Amino acid sequence: MAAPIRHIVIVGGGTAGWMAAALLSNVLPRDRLRLTLVESPDIGTVGVGEATIPPIQFFNRAVGIDEAEFMRATEGTFKLGIAFRDWVRPGHRYMHPFGQPGQAIKGVSFHAWWLRLRTAGYTVPLSDFWLAEKLADEGRFDTPSPDARSPKSTLAYAYHFDAGLYAAYLRTIAEPRGVTRVEATVADVALDPTDGTVSHVILADGRRVDGDYFIDCTGFRALVIGQALGRPYEDWSHWLPANRAVAVPSARTRDPVPFTTATARSAGWQWRINLRHRTGNGYVYVADHIDDDQAAATLLANLDGQALADPRFLRFTTGRRTQSRYKNVLAVGLSSGFLEPLESTSIHFIQHALIKFAATFPLSKDDPLSANLYNRMIGEELEQVRDFLILHYHANQRVGDPFWDRMRHMDVPDSLAEKIALFRARGCAIFPNQTLFQEPNWLAVLLGQEVEPASYDPLADAGDLSDIRQGFDATRQIIAQTARAAPRHMDYLSRLNAGSNRRGAA
């Protein structure tokens, strides 16, 4: 058998690099495998990703992170979903809440029964049964219950945090576990002439760092996977044409709310993320429809507090590396691909890549069988999320806006067209490869974007309609009572932080 991996070199720091170091240092055998991270003080990181989705909790547990300590270190707040403003039309608002609305009844999705009631004249919106949305709207927060009989069992949550502070926090975890940090700029990548694998990286001062396996965390430059190994990039800008972003932090003017806000603008959309110490803001846009100066002016005019820095501009092309694992290299983060942060998936793609890498850890430097499996899993995940993002743009009614008209009339991938057709026909939101965004997520956005089903699951025709309505009314009341009884978001954060301080003092 070929020699096993003994030394992994992480090329690049930032969020991706230190997530890799923190996870792998906890799940790989430290006595037989070394980890080295090469990080340049001269190369800045993107560092605008501040919103996450619920799977981040799994990653943090895999790393061995204490939630209270992590929240304190990163100025974190909780997130129960995303509020979309003006996406359907100006003045319209809907929310994509986490968790799910109600519980399945007799094995049939809760929303199928709601659709049946609605055809009989029931006017209560589905959002009244979505506890995460009720909490978010009232500025409250609570955690899920393991008791399936409790309405809190339907909850799920994620975090907002400062990405730069997160990377720094992960470093404090990884280095005591034996990760070696080399502060230097990588100038070149050397390949083994016998098999085409990466042999070592050459630093700007002439030193070399040898390794058996390399993780490319060099961002959009893709120094190893792209420049050295020449793995091509698949462009998805036909469907997701946004190619610029401008970001700026602003002063906090109120207690942080437990949700992200995404507001449609003429050439894209603006994000607002409330942290404990500041607010994160950005405008994702299409350069064909607005120039950089206009985009920055639009963003600055729509802040809810004083700007704390000059606007920072980013350029990108939506798409993915056709092989983000090749030879003895794994690309993680922006070097692997980029889907705009509309559903807060940037950090998720980092963690997903690392967890799948650990699950298919190479038997040797070049393990094509495991690499093929890994690339297929990553590809399916990216394509599913791509379709989910396109839906937000495509199902709009902003008639007269050139950008939004373009998105409404464009051809969509066959995989998305099928999903929309299934939902329009029978309210079906269960689709293939739902590894990340599942039935409740699709349901929230399809209904939120006013994609209306003509019918519903015929299994929901069982039972007396008046009994079903009584059950729904009772559930609605319980959801409302549970939301009102939950603590205010800021109060929950204050108690969490106080508890963390007490543990630190002890």
- Active-site residue numbers? 79
- Report the C-alpha gap between 506 and 499 in whole angstroms: 11
CA distance 228 to 223: 6
Q: Roughly how many angstroms between the first and final C-alpha of the chain, as a whole number?
A: 50
> HSE-up of 421 (CA within 13 Å, CB side)?
7
Other Cβ atoms closer than 10 A to 116: 24
No. of helices (H) and no. of strands (E), the chain: 14, 21
Report the distance separating Cα 471 and Cα 468, nearest Å. Answer: 5
Q: 255 by DSSP, 3-state: which?
A: coil
Q: What are residue 402's phi and psi, to 5 degrees?
A: -55, -45
The angle subtended at Cα 95 by Cα 91 and Cα 99, nearest 5°, is 175
317 CB-contact burial (10 Å; exposed 0-12 / middle 13-18 / buried 19+): middle
Q: What angle do CA 83, 389, 440 make, to 5 degrees?
A: 60
CA gap 95, 137 in Å, rounded? 9
Other C-beta atoms lying within 10 Å of the C-beta of residue 10: 30
CA distance 419 to 387: 9
352-391 burial string, b = 16+ CB within 10 Å, else e?
bbbbbbeebbbeebbbeebbeebbebbbebbbbbbbbbbb
Q: At what angle do helices 439-448 and 368-394 cross, to 10 degrees?
A: 20
Q: Return the bridge partners of 167, or none.
A: none
Among candidate residues 38, 28, 376, 4, the one with its CA nearest the CA of residue 215: 38
8 Å CB contact between 198 and 313: no
Q: How far apart are CA 416 and CA 430, in angstroms?
A: 12
Question: Residues 432, 155, 264, 321: is their CA dihedral positive or negative?
Answer: negative
- What is the rounded CA–CA span in Å between residue 392 and residue 82? 12
Rg (C-alpha) for the chain, rounded Å, is 24
The token duo for 167 is 């990377």
Structure tokens of 431? Answer: 């689709």
